Structure formats: structure tokens, C-alpha cells
């Protein structure tokens, strides 16, 4: 294996590969990027056994071959070096020569035959999705996804399904951690062609990688093959192993309508919640919301630190109420409201026991539910 390649695309690709690699595994091969040179290009592969990445880059190839190179060290070399062109050559004694024209490195590698390679399935029918739609759907749901260490696999991903509504077919993303839920529907041209059956459960890490891909704009193509989600963009492919567990039945938890609704300016609410957070800790997370038809008062009390009070004007609709006193985790509201575009957000209530329903006029088909806390 010997080739020369431009630094910038090589650096970007190795950075993408490194984000997929397994960082704490007892299998060293999972921390490597497999680089294979052939004809007029190289291919870069990475996997943690749940997500597989591959990218093809043009290169000046002198000899074909492959090596599994530690992704972190290769990334550090590319970041620190200043040359525009890199020369990479596989040598004896399990070393690969890397030079930017000024500095030379010899980096140990692992035998390529140890690498667990997942090839892109053939003869798939792909559906194209605008990257902006993917970004919006991910950012409005991923904040609710829990880590496996916190809640187990049950809440560790985003549930994706198709929904028929308003005489049309929508793509739906749903996420919950048991205390809150977020949901967004989006009309995606051609989504009817994807056989989502009873829905698929995509792990958080997979959605993070899809989001990184979508942040570059343009569009991405998606397909399903058995228990894998395949996402393609330009010369890159992600193969994501779907979670093989049943997502919780969530639709019964969706309120049909609110009895009482207040409309509040989004930015003012965000700023006020941020000030309430100053006095919250792991032991004292609750902020009291005192709500009437004209104002909402926020009270954050911590016996160890102090307290904060703030009142915000609101508009109200629905049933007349004298006053409602209810407690929430303010971070949950910030997570739900910050990704929104609406100038005003709607907070809907049924009673003190059931969740607050968050919507916005400029955020169609998006809803977030937050359960109250006991006080």
C-alpha cells in the first residue's frame, strides 16, 4: 500500500472515521481505521460493530494494499501537520510511513485481515431526504434520548415510523426518557417507498452520525436491509444496526387537547429558565410554576444556595382558572424549546397531574410533553 493524498479531505474523513470507532473496547481492532488503496482512490472504513462507516477519496496510488491504523493517532498526526499533501506507505515490521513533506512518522498498524468489515448491501432502493429535514427532526427529538447506562436500551434511541394523517403519509421521529416525550412529523417526498413496517428504533450514536452528515447540507439517501439502516451521502456510507427491542407504546400518552393554554414569548421564557437554573442542583431540580390567565411566575428555591423569582406576561385561552401551582425540571423545558423556531410557544395543561404540552405555530407537527414533578 502506497499513495499520496490531499491533507484536508483525508483529515475530514479520518475525523469522521474516528467518531465511529469504539473508544473503550478490549478489541484493539475496533479503534482502528482500515485504509485500502486501489487504482486511483483509497477507501477508509471504521466500525464499532453497531455502526459501520466507509468513504472513498481520490488519491495518487502507487501500490495497492491495506492496513488497520489506529484512528486516534492518525487523526492527531493529520491535525498537527501542516503539509498540503501526505505520503502514506506500508512498510515492514507492521509500520506505516506517513510524511507531510517536512515531518516523517512511522506508526504501528494491525493486520487488515483482523478488521471486521461490513460491506454496503447491494441492489437497495434508496429514498432521498433533504438534509435540512433530517437535521430538524433529529434536533427536536434527540435531547430526550437516554444513555444505556442511565435507563437501559428501552429509551436509548429515536423511534422512526410512518404515519397517515391529513390524507397524507408523514415520517415520524419519537423519543422519550419516561419523564418527557418529543415527537415530530414531516412530509417527505417518496417516503411511501420505505418499508418501515412497525417502525424502527435507531440508536443515539447512529442518529448523531446521521446528523453530522446532514449538517453539510444537500440531501442524503436512506434504505433498509434486514436489521440495518443504510445512509449514503456523496462518497460516504453509514450502516447502522437497529436496536432490536420494542419501543414503548407512546400514543396513549398523547393528550387529545388542553383545557387551559398559555402563550409565552419564547426568548423571554428561555432567558428566565436559564436564571432559574442557577439555583438548581441534582438534589433540588424543581422549579415552581405559578400560572394564571395573565402571568406565569417562576420560583427556584435551594436551601443551600438561595432562591430566585421571576414573573412573565402571558396570553391565555381555554377554561378559566384562578391559579395553578405546578413544578417542573426547567432543563426539560429548555431542551424542548431551544430547537423551536416559533416566536411564541404554547404551554397546554389539563391538570396538575398530567404533562405540559408544548407546541408552536411556526413548528408544525412538533409536540413535546413534560411530566410535572412532585412538590
Kindly state the cell numbers that stand for 288: 415552581
Q: Is 127-251 the same fold as 2-114?
A: yes
pLDDT computed for residue 319 by the predictor: 79
First to last CA, the chain: 66
Q: How far apart are CA 26 and CA 38, in angstroms?
A: 31
pLDDT computed for residue 151 by the predictor: 61
pLDDT computed for residue 152 by the predictor: 64
Which residue in 234, 229, 225, 216 sits closest to 173, CA to CA?
A: 229
Give me the long-range contacts of 353-361 (CB less than 8 A, separation at least 24): 354/255, 355/180, 355/181, 355/253, 355/255, 356/326, 356/328, 357/255, 357/258, 358/333, 360/266
Provide the 3-class DSSP secondary structure of residue 292. coil
| pLDDT (average), residues 62-71 | 97
The phi, psi pair for 85, rounded to 5°, reads -125, 135
The pLDDT confidence band at residue 149, using thresholds 50, 70 and 90, is low
Instruction: Tell me the pairing of strands 315-318 and 306-313.
Output: unpaired
Give me the numbers of helices (H) and strands (E) for the chain, helices first please: 7, 26
Residue 79 clears pLDDT 80, i.e. is over it? yes
Q: How far apart are CA 174 and CA 43, in angstroms?
A: 35
Give CA torsion, residues 260, 264, 270, 272, to 10 deg. -90
Which residue in 242, 244, 239 sits closest to 20, CA to CA?
A: 239
Structural domain boundaries in the chain = 2-114, 127-251, 255-370
pLDDT computed for residue 299 by the predictor: 96
Chain-centre distance of CA 338, in angstroms?
Answer: 15
Q: Name the CATH code of domain 127-251 (choices 3.30.200.100, 1.10.510.10, 3.10.150.10, 3.40.50.300).
A: 3.10.150.10
CB 367 within 8 Å of CB 357: yes
Q: Helices in the chain by DSSP H: which ranges?
A: 7-20, 71-80, 131-139, 148-151, 204-214, 266-277, 330-337
Q: How far apart are CA 355 and CA 253, in angstroms?
A: 9
pLDDT computed for residue 49 by the predictor: 94
Local structure of residue 215 (DSSP, 8 states): T
| pLDDT (average), residues 258-285 | 93
| pLDDT (average), residues 174-179 | 93
pTM of the model: 0.93
Kindly state the cell numbers that stand for 124: 437497495
CATH topology of domain 2-114: DNA Polymerase III; Chain A, domain 2 (3.10.150)
Mean pLDDT lowest among 9-18, 127-136, 188-197: 188-197
CA distances from 40 to 5, 54, 99, 280 (A): 10, 16, 20, 58
Q: Name the CATH code of domain 255-370 (choices 2.60.120.10, 3.40.50.2300, 3.10.150.10, 3.90.1150.10).
A: 3.10.150.10
Kindly state the cell numbers that stand for 263: 402563550
Give the pLDDT confidence of 103-131 residue by residue, as tens digits: 999 999 999 999 998 888 888 889 999 99
Give CA torsion, residues 318, 321, 326, 329, to 10 deg. 30
Amino acid at each position: 500500500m502506497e499513495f499520496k493524498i490531499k491533507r484536508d479531505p483525508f483529515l475530514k474523513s479520518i475525523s469522521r472515521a474516528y467518531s465511529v470507532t469504539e473508544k473503550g473496547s478490549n478489541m484493539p481492532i475496533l479503534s482502528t481505521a482500515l485504509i485500502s488503496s486501489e487504482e486511483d482512490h483509497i477507501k477508509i472504513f471504521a466500525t464499532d460493530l453497531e455502526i459501520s462507516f466507509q468513504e472513498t477519496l481520490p488519491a495518487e496510488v502507487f501500490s495497492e494494499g491495506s492496513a488497520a491504523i489506529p484512528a486516534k493517532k492518525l487523526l492527531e498526526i493529520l491535525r498537527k501537520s501542516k503539509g498540503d499533501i501526505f505520503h502514506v506507505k506500508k512498510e515492514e515490521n507492521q509500520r506505516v510511513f506517513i510524511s507531510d513533506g517536512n515531518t516523517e512518522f512511522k506508526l504501528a498498524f494491525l493486520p487488515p485481515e483482523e478488521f471486521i468489515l461490513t460491506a454496503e448491501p447491494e441492489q437497495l432502493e434508496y429514498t432521498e431526504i433533504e438534509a435540512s429535514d433530517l437535521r430538524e427532526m433529529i434536533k427536536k427529538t434527540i435531547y430526550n434520548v437516554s444513555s444505556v447506562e442511565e435507563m437501559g436500551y428501552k429509551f436509548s434511541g429515536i423511534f422512526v415510523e410512518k404515519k397517515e394523517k391529513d390524507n397524507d403519509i408523514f415520517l415520524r421521529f419519537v423519543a422519550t426518557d419516561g419523564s418527557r416525550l418529543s415527537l415530530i412529523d414531516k412530509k417527505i417526498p417518496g417516503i411511501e417507498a420505505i418499508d418501515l413496517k412497525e417502525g424502527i428504533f435507531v440508536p443515539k450514536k447512529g442518529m448523531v452520525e446521521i446528523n453530522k452528515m446532514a449538517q453539510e447540507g444537500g440531501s442524503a439517501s436512506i434504505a433498509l436491509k434486514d436489521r440495518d439502516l443504510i445512509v449514503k451521502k456523496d462518497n460516504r456510507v453509514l450502516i447502522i444496526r437497529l436496536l432490536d427491542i420494542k419501543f414503548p407504546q407512546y400514543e396513549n400518552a398523547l393528550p387529545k387537547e388542553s383545557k387551559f393554554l398559555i402563550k409565552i414569548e419564547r426568548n423571554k421564557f428561555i432567558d428566565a429558565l436559564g436564571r432559574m437554573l442557577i439555583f438548581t442542583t441534582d438534589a433540588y431540580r424543581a422549579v415552581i410554576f405559578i400560572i394564571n390567565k395573565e402571568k406565569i411566575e417562576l420560583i427556584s428555591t435551594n436551601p443551600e444556595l438561595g432562591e430566585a423569582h421571576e414573573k412573565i406576561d402571558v396570553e391565555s385561552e381555554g377554561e378559566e382558572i384562578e391559579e395553578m401551582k405546578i413544578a417542573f425540571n426547567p432543563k426539560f423545558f429548555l431542551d424542548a424549546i431551544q430547537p423551536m423556531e416559533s416566536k411564541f410557544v404554547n404551554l397546554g395543561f389539563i391538570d396538575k397531574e398530567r404533562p405540559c404540552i408544548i407546541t408552536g405555530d411556526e413548528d408544525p407537527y412538533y409536540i413535546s410533553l413534560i411530566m410535572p414533578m412532585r412538590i
